[in-house]
Amino acid sequence: MPRIDGARVVADLKRLAEFGRYKTGVHRPTYSPDDVASRHWLADQFAAAGLVPEIDGIGNVFGRNHIATRHLLVGSHSETQPYGGWLDGALGVIYALELARAFAADADCAGFGIDTIAWADEEGHYGQMLGSRSFTGAVGEEELAACKSRDGVPLADALEKAGFAGRKREEVDPARYVGYLEAHIEQGDTLESSGRRIGVVEAIVGIRNFMVTLTGQQNHAGTTQMARRKDAGVAMVRLAARIHDRFAALAGPRTVWTIGRILLDPNAPSIVPGRSDMQVQFRDIDTAKLAAFEAALYEMVGESDRAGPCRAAIAPMSQVEPRPMDGVFQGAIEGAAERHAPGLHLRMPSGAGHDAQIVSHRLRAGMMFIPSINGVSHHWSEDTSEDDIVLGAQVFADAALAILKAG
């Protein structure tokens, strides 16, 4: 069995968190100087573990094992959310590094190689899951040329500045790999609140996003009598309340939905809003459930439009299909968890998106979760106990070996 050096895992995570350190978290947006420096540091660590390092044309950092005959690709992303946590992404990359070292040191693992990967821009500073999508061949040159950061910086300029421009973008060789394995913090509190320490991801949820726009007529809030108003704010709050009621009635046990963004125009206290936009999002691992939510949403928007006095329109913004994780991979993770933490593991969906869902289109894929303290995520205060980090690494290593053996 590969033996994890828990202290080394924690030390490497802490060292990686120095790049862009912010309070107890990290601010390391993709292609920022801190991100570029951390990718070079990771390449050096991969080399020190006996792997051949490469940073490709999108910033993905690879470590390739040229000795083994069967390979598992293991990793996660290494950039962070703005002022985000120290483990989101980083955990899976350092676990991969540790697995490469542990496998190399263990006779049981002879012939089995861990290829490490630190994906670029899963967090979408320039484009959602840009690195893993590039690796699976899903990113064309036109998309790259059009890609800009949230601040309007063209991706091409960022890659040039990072020193990655002009390099080849690596694409997956499905023949090389048994599959792809990713560890991540849960980012929710399902494990913590149920007293479990390992999550076996069954599927990554599908996500559908819609923009709902209500158009009325902007008017003076003092001189326009109620009967004459076409208040897009009133129409929005009524429709939003109905959406929440209807979705609650339709929901499965793990469906989630969110109206997270609302804009009134002009959003002034003494002006009747002439327009309102709201983004409606829902997630489930069941495509039929997603379709039912979508149909209900279109129906409610249509009812609002017909009822007047405001017009209501809906447009899809994005759609990601649910991705089941490989059954053999799930079994391997569960078996390893049962050995090291009997009874303290749970099969669960991932409510957040991950590179594994992208890679799963080209390779068999699996994911393992460890707990997040209080379920905090995308915030510098995100954390996980060192005990859970170390246990997770050992379970993950055992699972990787089981997957490679099962082939």
Query: Smallest gap, in angstroms, from Cβ of residue 124 to a second copy?
Result: 10
Burial label, 169 (beta-carbon count in 10 A; 0-12, 13-18, 19+): middle
Beta strands at 177-185 and 112-119: parallel, antiparallel or unpaired: unpaired
Give the side-chain half-sphere CA count within 13 A for 11: 7
Query: Smallest gap, in angstroms, from Cβ of residue 32 to a second copy?
Result: 20
The C-alpha atoms of residue 111 and residue 132 are separated, in whole angstroms, by 26
Give the side-chain half-sphere CA count within 13 A for 272: 21
Query: Smallest gap, in angstroms, from Cβ of residue 126 to a second copy?
Result: 17
Q: Among residues 175 and 249, whose Cβ is nearest to a second copy?
A: 249
Query: Smallest gap, in angstroms, from Cβ of residue 145 to a second copy?
Result: 25
List interacting residues with a second copy (CB under 8 A).
Answer: 186-190, 193, 205, 207, 209, 218-226, 228, 231, 233-234, 236-238, 240-241, 244, 248, 251, 254-264, 267-273, 279, 281, 283, 350-353, 375, 377-379
Is 39 in contact with 118 (CB distance < 8 Å)?
yes
Residue reference for tokens 């939905």 = 257
Query: Smallest gap, in angstroms, from Cβ of residue 39 to a second copy?
Result: 25
Query: Smallest gap, in angstroms, from Cβ of residue 386 to a second copy?
Result: 22
Q: Among residues 152 and 253, whose Cβ is nearest to a second copy?
A: 253
Q: Among residues 222 and 407, whose Cβ is nearest to a second copy?
A: 222
Q: Among residues 144 and 212, whose Cβ is nearest to a second copy?
A: 212
Q: Among residues 14 and 261, whose Cβ is nearest to a second copy?
A: 261
Is 382 in contact with 86 (CB distance < 8 Å)?
yes
Q: Among residues 118 and 278, whose Cβ is nearest to a second copy?
A: 278
Cα R_g (the chain), whole angstroms: 23
CB neighbours of 156 closer than 8 A, spacing ≥ 6? 144, 145, 147, 165
Is 30 in contact with 125 (CB distance < 8 Å)?
yes
